[in-house]
Amino acid sequence: MTSLSSAPRPVTGRHSPPLTGTVTVPGDKSISHRALIFGGLATGTTHISGLLEGEDVLRTAAALRQLGAEVVKDTNGSWQVTGNGVGALAEPDDVLDMGNSGTAARLLMGLVSNSAFTTFFMGDASLHKRPMSRVSIPLEKMGALIISRSGGRFPLAVTGRTLMPIEYELPVASAQVKSAILLAALDTPGLTRVTEPKPTRDHTENMLRHFGADVTVTDLETGGRLIEYQGQQELTAADIVVPGDPSSAAFIAVAAAVLPDSDVTITNVGLNPLRDGIFITLEEMGANIEIMNPREQGGEKVGDIRIKGGELQGIEVPPERAPTMIDEFPVLFVAASFAKGTTVMRGLHELRVKESDRIAAMAAGLKTCGVNFEELDDGLIIKGDGSAPKGGGHIETHLDHRIAMSFLIMGLATQEPVTVDDGRVMETSFPGFVDLMGTLGGQITPDNQP
């Protein structure tokens, strides 16, 4: 694992020719975490191909090893995970370091909450600021004991107990919280019921089925969903092919959409309907997007996406769509900066508690780049005239990979180059981002290179 103990590495995106070519993005981050976790719990050996080998997922791999699973990377880049069955985790002999990963942190807190030992968790400066009480509260209701810093923040310790099932209504639409409860429910006798106010990514539910368990999902009249899980079912090893991450594909899609005459195809992208909001939104803005070869792979929808550059129009993004594109708003803000007219993006309180306060971090950078916008508590209203913003200046990324990549994409089409203060954070979710953009013609370079 690379470490951020080395010096920050500024990176610059420069005005580029139209992007052309065909690429594949690294594996889906959410599915990769879950593939390792379920593989590490199931009896038998799970073979995973296409796993995202980014920092966040490597944290989950390391933590699972500490918890007694066998996690091995093969020479061909695929992974083998062997678990000991539900309820058979081993006590780690050291703190679990979750780095920058909120997903690893929250899912693993759920996982260890009915173990027979105490697990200590820590992370980086960004993770230590993030709210964990959204996970601690339901886990404590189930019977776990959690000692944390004020506000429920990291570092914290989870003492596992024999848990009771709960009926829990999520106060925020969060797949991480839903998944933490479902992971705690795995070895909890009885029926655990979780209601989410709006449907969120359902990779945990899909993976439970893939590993042979029964999970019941009911659409509610309120627009939300009820997920029910009967604890103490066996999980059996099942091979997984991880599709490309739509959240990573989104950066390329926006770059191609805002650079006139671009023509880019991204193959093998995950198109789970609870993840595809960015592509629907870009299409509504007038982007030329075509989904080719739609197919199903291991219980997940997958396809190839072709994007051609052109003009974008401002639109109002329906707030209820937010959970299906929650990680894509930073790069959508970039797209909206090039659009003609006003783009209204609201209902985004959750962006304030991601790897950074993404509304504030994006607002600061957009201001530096000369974009005309209004910051709201729960979103941004961006007013464009259809021409490229000025760009220029140095952008603070606040240990946030998506802020870094969003502004490098911006720099490909602004008049002046855009420099981000630290490119190392991109390893979190998109190793090889700079090189991959280079193969399409995107001019992104570390600042010590010409």
Question: Could you confirm whether 97 is annotated as catalytic?
Answer: no
Q: Which of 187, 276, 327, 422 is catalytic?
A: 327
Binding of residue 113 to ligand S3P (CB under 6 A): no
Binding of residue 136 to ligand S3P (CB under 6 A): no
Stretch that binds ligand S3P, among 2-10, 170-178, 212-220, 267-275 (CB under 6 A): 170-178
**Torsion angles phi and psi, residue 170, rounded to 5:** -70, 125
Which amino acid type is present at position 238? A
Binding of residue 276 to ligand S3P (CB under 6 A): no
Stretch that binds ligand S3P, among 168-176, 273-281, 386-394, 434-442 (CB under 6 A): 168-176
The residue (of 168 and 338) whose beta carbon lies closer to ligand S3P is: 168
Choose which of 114, 174, 265, 324 interacts with ligand S3P (CB under 6 A): 174
280-339: contacts with ligand S3P (CB under 6 A): 326-327
In angstroms, give the least distance from the CB of 339 to ligand S3P: 24
205-264: contacts with ligand S3P (CB under 6 A): none
Binding of residue 176 to ligand S3P (CB under 6 A): yes
Number of residues that bind ligand S3P (CB under 6 A): 10
Binding of residue 358 to ligand S3P (CB under 6 A): no
403-432: contacts with ligand S3P (CB under 6 A): none
The residue (of 46 and 179) whose beta carbon lies closer to ligand S3P is: 179
Choose which of 46, 100, 126, 179 interacts with ligand S3P (CB under 6 A): 179
Binding of residue 175 to ligand S3P (CB under 6 A): yes
Binding of residue 272 to ligand S3P (CB under 6 A): no
Stretch that binds ligand S3P, among 18-26, 45-53, 173-181, 256-264 (CB under 6 A): 173-181
Binding of residue 201 to ligand S3P (CB under 6 A): yes
The strands making up 443-446's β-sheet, listed across from edge to edge, are 394-395, 418-420, 11-14, 443-446
In angstroms, give the least distance from the CB of 98 to ligand S3P: 13
What is each CA distance from 242 to 36, 40, 200, 208, 390, in whole angstroms? 11, 16, 19, 15, 39
Residues near ligand S3P (CB under 6 A) are 30, 103, 174-176, 179, 201, 326-327, 350
Residues carrying an active site annotation: 327
